[in-house]
Amino acid sequence: MAKQAAEQFAEASAEVLSKSSEAADTAVRDTAAALTENGNASRAAIQELTKAYQELATKNVNKLTAAMRALATVKSPAEFIDTQQRLIKEGVESAFSDSQQITQLTTAVFTAAFEPTKKAEGQHIGRQ
């Protein structure tokens, strides 16, 4: 009878270990896949941010050129001061708007980039 109980215990233990091993293998595979997907998404996010910064730099160079031309065409000190004040106001408004857009883009792309990892974590927590 003790031998039979020991055999049943051994079989039950082996089954539990087998299921645990399968669960661990699945978790490792899912995590590896999520990390790969996460890396690909992060690379795409960096490329998108780089493009946005390049576009912003081009826009700012064009604005600077236009501002210099506007200042070069003034005919009086009063007109110079008015033009300068207008350009400063436009520059501050543009900088604020640009920074908001870059912040939103950064948040969006990195949230999307880390989504695969979040999904993988959620799946493993749900299985436990």
Distance between CA 6 and CA 34 in Å, rounded? 41
* Amino acid (1-letter code) at residue 111: T
User: Which contacts qualify for 77-82: CB closer than 8 Å, 24 or more apart?
Assistant: none
pLDDT digits (tens, 9 = 90+) for 66-91: 999 999 999 999 999 999 999 999 99
Q: Where are the beta strands (DSSP E) in the chain?
A: none
Taking the model in full, what pTM does it have?
0.60
CB-based contacts of 67, cutoff 8 Å, min separation 6:
87, 91
Q: What is the pLDDT of residue 74?
A: 93
Q: What is the pLDDT of residue 127?
A: 53
What is the CB-side half-sphere exposure of residue 28 using CA atoms within 13 A?
6
Residue 113, class by beta-carbon neighbours within 10 Å (0-12 exposed, 13-18 middle, 19+ buried)? buried
Position 128 pLDDT exceeds 80: no
Task: Tell the residue number behind the tokens 């927590």, with chain if given.
Answer: 125
pLDDT digits (tens, 9 = 90+) for 39-74: 777 788 888 888 999 999 999 999 999 999 999 999
Distance between CA 121 and CA 126 in Å, rounded? 9
